[in-house]
Amino acid sequence: MPANLVVGAQWGDEGKAKVIDVLSKDTDIIVRYQGGANAGHTVVVKGKKYVFHLIPSGVIYDDKICVIGNGVVIDAAYFLEEVADIEKEGFDVRGKTYVSDSAHLLLPFHKLIDGAREDGSVDGKKIGTTRRGIGMCYADKMMRTGLRVGDLLNLKTAREKLEHIIEEKNAEMKALYNIDPLQVDDVWKDLMAFYDLWKDRIINTSFYLNEALKDGKRILLEGAQGTGLDVDFGTYPYVTSSNPTTGGALIGSGVSYHYLQKVIGICKAYITRVGEGPFPTELHGEEGEKLRKLGGEYGATTGRPRRCGWFDVEMLKHAIRVNGLNAIALTKIDVLSDYDSIPVAIGYELDGKRLDYLPSQELDRVKPVYKFFPGWNSDISGINDFKKLPKNCQDYINAIRDLIGVPVHILSTGPDRDHTIILG
């Protein structure tokens, strides 16, 4: 049976969780494959809102299995809090979630260093991270000095490893950031709280997932962040420290590429970005504020106001290319109901010359070339039949499909599970 993939096509917060929730209905296993508690994934069911950070969004279905793949970085203390919060709402998390033995543990010093660097303690520059320690944990993974979830299965060697790591990190924190040393026992206590509750849920998830696929189970891979934040294909250095793109989904889950079927790129009918970095179609001042208000664009993780701008076809074509997207989900079309004319960037110019693709460098200097579409000036919130959308709205959606050359599989006209149009 197939594995389908949901991947962000912009700079995150595209409405991935809303689409994952809709698709989870016809899925057996939902897998997070990268990122960590930097993600903020919102699902709304019959007006009730749930926000997930580390736990896959499918957890609110009773009959689905959730998996946290090897590519995710897990803050054990945060993880326990999130599980407790979800279980307070009446959902079973532990009973239906597995954690990869190869996922890396995000430890308190990762967050402290992330925060200190964002405060400018090194070169005065900042990325605008979520301060959740993500980059520092992935750096240790690549340095081959990280502690993995599976290490906890041998407590003696795990403790020794942790002692060594903390000694090194305490020295680094003092020398570079003037941060007080951490006590091994404090860090160990959190890890043991996680171990006590979760030790029997720690498995080789790659083996589990490929066997499940062989047995006919359907898998949905849940991306966090988005293509514009990919450490290779995003706007480096203003990116996250993982690969949210298709390659990262395979690496971060260990699912064989043979099984991959639908690769669905999620994009808003406009664009948002949180944190620093180039954003060619960004709207400033009152125009930006109008879109932010209409879309309720405030971060689900940090509460920061999101920067807002117009839909960008060139950026989406980049996402289609690097992810191999074979379907699109277009979300938040309802937010554009209040415009007479809707600009869409259909390409870029740099120094007066038209570019063929989104450049890896100098995105801050490109000028978008806009095409203007007539608005529909009526509230389409919650409409779940394509034929009931105003003609101008239908034309806008069809025009985007024609500009990108990839079918629009799902339309979202509101945050709720029911505010959805499936286009086949």
Residues labelled catalytic: 13, 41
The upper half-sphere exposure of residue 20, i.e. CA atoms within 13 Å in the direction of its Cβ, equals 34
Tokens 């809303």 locate to: 18
Residue 134 interacts with, from Mg ion, ligand IMO, ligand GDP, none (CB under 5-8 Å by kind): ligand IMO
Which residues in 275-334 contact ligand IMO (CB under 6 A)? Answer: 275, 300
Q: Does 224 bind ligand IMO (CB under 6 A)?
A: yes
Which residues in 3-22 contact ligand GDP (CB under 6 A)? Answer: 8, 12-18
- Residue closer to ligand IMO by CB (options 8, 414) is 8
Residue 418 host element (H or E): none
Amino acid, single-letter form, for residue 248: G
Structure tokens at 371: 């095409």
The upper half-sphere exposure of residue 91, i.e. CA atoms within 13 Å in the direction of its Cβ, equals 23
Q: How far is CA 312 from CA 120, 226, 282, 403, in A?
A: 32, 14, 10, 11
Q: Does 129 bind ligand IMO (CB under 6 A)?
A: yes
* Radius of gyration of the chain measured on its C-alpha atoms: 22
Amino acid, single-letter form, for residue 201: R
Total site size for ligand GDP, rule CB under 6 A: 21
Total site size for ligand IMO, rule CB under 6 A: 23
Which residues in 323-342 contact ligand GDP (CB under 6 A)? Answer: 331-332, 334-335
The one-character DSSP state at 82 is: H
Least Cβ distance, residue 225 to ligand GDP (angstroms): 8
Residues paired with residue 372 on neighbouring β-strands, in sequence order: 343
| Closest residue to ligand IMO, based on beta-carbon distance | 275
What percentage of the chain's residues is helix, strand, coil (to nearest 5)?
40, 25, 35
Piece of 132-140, 207-215, 329-337, 409-417 that binds ligand IMO (CB under 6 A): 132-140
Q: Does 40 bind Mg ion (CB under 5 A)?
A: yes
Residue 415 interacts with, from Mg ion, ligand GDP, ligand IMO, none (CB under 5-8 Å by kind): ligand GDP
Out of 42, 170, 204, 394, the only residue in the binding site for ligand GDP (CB under 6 A) is 42
Which residues in 1-20 contact Mg ion (CB under 5 A)? Answer: 13
Piece of 35-43, 320-328, 346-354, 385-393 that binds ligand IMO (CB under 6 A): 35-43
Which are the contacts of 90, defined by CB distance < 8 A and separation ≥ 6?
none
Q: Are 37 and 254 in contact (CB under 8 A)?
A: no
Q: Are 149 and 202 in contact (CB under 8 A)?
A: yes
CA nearest to 239, candidates 357, 128, 362, 379: 128
Structure tokens at 198: 């979760």
Least Cβ distance, residue 413 to ligand GDP (angstroms): 5
Residue 132 interacts with, from ligand GDP, Mg ion, ligand IMO, none (CB under 5-8 Å by kind): ligand IMO
Structure tokens at 50: 């749930």
Piece of 282-290, 346-354, 367-375, 406-414 that binds ligand GDP (CB under 6 A): 406-414
Q: How far is CA 412 from CA 56, 57, 71, 421, in A?
A: 20, 17, 29, 6
Binding site for ligand GDP (CB under 6 A): 8, 12-18, 40-42, 44, 300, 331-332, 334-335, 412-415
Binding site for ligand IMO (CB under 6 A): 8, 12-13, 38-41, 127-130, 132, 134-135, 224-226, 229, 240-241, 274-275, 300
Binding site for Mg ion (CB under 5 A): 13, 40, 300
